[in-house]
Structure 1
Amino acid sequence: MNDKGNCESCGRKIQNTVFDKCMYCGEVLPKHQIFSENEKETILANQKQAELDEAKVSKSKSNNHFGRDGGVFYLGGDSGGSCD
């Protein structure tokens, strides 16, 4: 993505967002620091892809029931109390 420089109000780096305000101080960005509609579409597509990738990783991890040593995890609990 394009480097839009730093916010003229707070001095922090302009982040790749679809908002026309600084995400840190909330000041409206000058026109030369606002992302174009095409850039915003790319930002949204990249965010969506990152979310899909993260969901795949999370699902993959949740389907893995084996410990580092290859043993099966026991997912039950033991409160230590009796079952009388």
Structure 2
Amino acid sequence: MDTSREAIVRWCQEYLGNLLEIPAAAVDPAVDFDRLGIDSALAVSLLIEVEERYGVDLAPEDLFENPNLDAVAAYLHARTTPTVA
């Protein structure tokens, strides 16, 4: 599975686009979730899907610290990229 930031952003755009019933390209990764119309129920849905897809536990508080898809993708990418010892 591609865990690059770009791939994570694309997947999140497609997922949120389906939930919001808009084209994935209309989900601007730099715009905050609240401006995209993502309420708490949609945010929880995204958290669940992210955990299932990427194996990364994303707490609701993490969305406040990472309020848009670009920030979430960077957060997930940092946690899915193996570190070299």
Query: Structure 2-normalised TM-score?
Result: 0.31
Higher RCO, Cα 8 Å, sep 6+: 2
- Which of the pair has more CA radius of gyration? 1
Structure whose residues are more often helix by fraction? 2
